[in-house]
Amino acid sequence: MRERAALVVGLIRDYTSWIALAIVVVLFSNLAPAFLSVTNLMSILNAASIVGLVAIGLAFTLLAGGFDLSVAAIMLAGSMVFGTLFMNQHLAVGEAMLLSLVVTTALGLVNGLVITKVKLPAFIATFATMFAYNGMGIGLGGGAAIYNVTHPFFTFLGQGRLGVAPMPAVIFILVAIAAYLVLRTTPFGRAVYAVGDNDKTAHMAGINVDRIRIMTYMISGFLSGLAGLILTARLEVANVTQATIAGYSANLLDAIAAVMIGGISIFGGEGRMHGLIGGILLIFVLTNGIAILGMTITYHMLAKGLLILLAVGMDIYFRSGVSLRRR
């Protein structure tokens, strides 16, 4: 009996975000028939894809016991790198995309080095680099946006469709599957969890803790860069200026909300990719459903806030539950 109860609790814990998602979907589809249409669902996926990519990168750093506040800044810097190289330097689209991804991965590497070698706490290090990378993005455009960033292939990535599926959603789903496989089936994935749970034990088991941490920041940088490219392709503009930067920073907050609701523990070492995907979808389903119902942003913000409290509260509750039982 107790075993079964433990199993149920475990399942609820593993699939919290999907259970919440199911409830919300049922709710919205009853209130607004238009909600369940294929078009609407695809537009939700499309909207979720950019924050989704950023959140997956962020999740890697969290799982290894770190944090990355610079994800949105890297995303925008990557967008400006591409814009400058493609529009001003007239590089081929492939080269400009590749270089943009190399730069954003390198920005992640810098984060990793500052955190592991200079030994700054991740929260502080990436808080600082967030400003630096934002400055870099603004500087690249000389304070102005770069307009008319179009190219058949590039624009397809941001606005095209594969069947009914928007390209950004396709890319997001492919990346999510890859991230799931990396975490589950590679020694690197296991090492990420080990480092996040107890870095001393991981070190004593022969894992190169610093290298694993640095790699998570590079993954975060790369995926933020990818998100930046898709954003640019969708908007046809690389628009990082003093005026826009605050607005774009909402991407960071949404990504943080997604990992928290998705059950990626802020204490490291715990959390699963499927939970995170559920968390991301939940946020955008809420945004979409509330908009369809014609409710104001107030309710949306309120719902997001309550969800985060609930999700993190459960994380802490289950944790202390374990330690209480041990005593």
Partner 1 sequence: MNYAVQMKGICKDFSGVRVLHSVDLQVEEGTVHALVGENGAGKSTLCKILAGFFPREEGEIVVNGEGIGKLNPRRALELGISMIYQEPNLAPLMTAAENIMLGQKLGFIVNRHQLFRRAEEILATVGFDLNVRLPVSYLSTHEKQLVEIAKAVSLDTRVLIMDEATAALTLPQREHLFAVMRKLTHQGIAIIYTTHILPEVFDIADWVTVLRNGENVGTHKVSEVTPEEVIEMMVGHKLSRAAVERGQVGSEVLRLENVSNLPEVRGVSLSLLQGEILGIGGLAGSGQPELARVIFGADRMDSGEMYVLGKKVDFKTPSDAIKCGIGLVPRDRKEEGLLPRICLGHNIVVPSLPALTRLKTILDHHQERAMVQNQICRLDIVPPTSGKVMEEFSGGNQQKAMIAKWLARKPKILVLDEPTVGVDVRTREYLYDTISELAKEGISLLLMSSDLKEVLRLSNRVLLMRKGRFVAELPGDPTMEDEALRIVTLTEQE
Question: Cβ 297 to partner 1, closest distance in Å?
Answer: 37
161/184 with CB nearer partner 1 = 184
Minimum Å distance from CB 257 to partner 1?
Answer: 23
Residue closer to partner 1, measured from CB, 268 or 289: 268
Give dist(CA 42, CA 15) in Å, integer: 22
- Can you give the length of the chain in residues? 327
Indicate whether 203 belongs to the interface with partner 1 (CB under 8 A): yes
**Minimum Å distance from CB 276 to partner 1?**
17
- The residue within the footprint of partner 1, chosen from 205, 291, 297, 302 (CB under 8 A), is 205
In angstroms, the CA 291 to CA 280 distance is 17
Q: Which of 90, 119 has the CB closer to partner 1?
A: 119
Q: How far apart are CA 192 and CA 213, in angstroms?
A: 8
> Can residue 150 be called a binding residue for partner 1 (CB under 8 A)?
no
Query: Nearest 5°: phi and psi at 270?
Result: -135, 140
Q: Is 215 in the site for partner 1 (CB under 8 A)?
A: no
Q: Minimum CB separation from partner 1 for residue 84, in Å?
A: 35
Of 73, 101, 99, nearest to 171 by C-alpha is 101
- Indicate whether 218 belongs to the interface with partner 1 (CB under 8 A): no
CB nearer partner 1, residue 7 or residue 250: 7
Number of residues binding to partner 1, judged by CB under 8 A? 25
Kindly state the smallest distance separating residue 119's Cβ from partner 1, in Å. Answer: 17
274 binds partner 1 (CB under 8 A): no
The smaller minimum CB distance to partner 1, of residues 107 and 311, is found at 311
- Beta bridge pairs of residue 165: 162
The conformational region for residue 163 under phi > 0 = left, psi -120 to 50 = alpha, else beta, is left
H-type helices in the chain, by residue range? 2-14, 16-31, 38-63, 71-83, 93-116, 122-140, 152-159, 167-185, 187-197, 199-204, 209-235, 245-248, 250-261, 273-292, 297-326
Listed in sequence order, the residues at least 6 apart from 94 whose beta carbon sits closer than 8 Å to its beta carbon are none
Taking the complex as a whole, how short is the minimal distance between the CB of residue 191 and partner 1, in angstroms?
7
Q: Is 320 a binder of partner 1 (CB under 8 A)?
A: no
Q: Give rounded-to-5 percent helix, strand, coil for the chain.
A: 80, 0, 20
* DSSP H or E stretch at residue 162: strand 161-162
Token pair, residue 273, equals 């990719």
Asked if 13 interacts with partner 1 (CB under 8 A), we say: no
Told to check if 247 binds partner 1 by CB under 8 A, we report no
Name which of residues 158 to 197 contact partner 1 (CB under 8 A). 185-187, 190-191, 193-194, 197
Q: Which is nearer to partner 1, 124 or 204 (CB)?
A: 204
Element (H, E) at 165: strand 165-166
Nearest distance in Å: CB 63, partner 1: 11
Nearer to partner 1, 43 or 198 (CB): 198
CA distances in angstroms from 7 to 12, 82, 272, 276, 311, listed in the order given: 9, 49, 17, 21, 19
Residues that bind partner 1 (CB under 8 A): 185-187, 190-191, 193-194, 197-198, 200-208, 269-270, 319, 322-323, 325-326
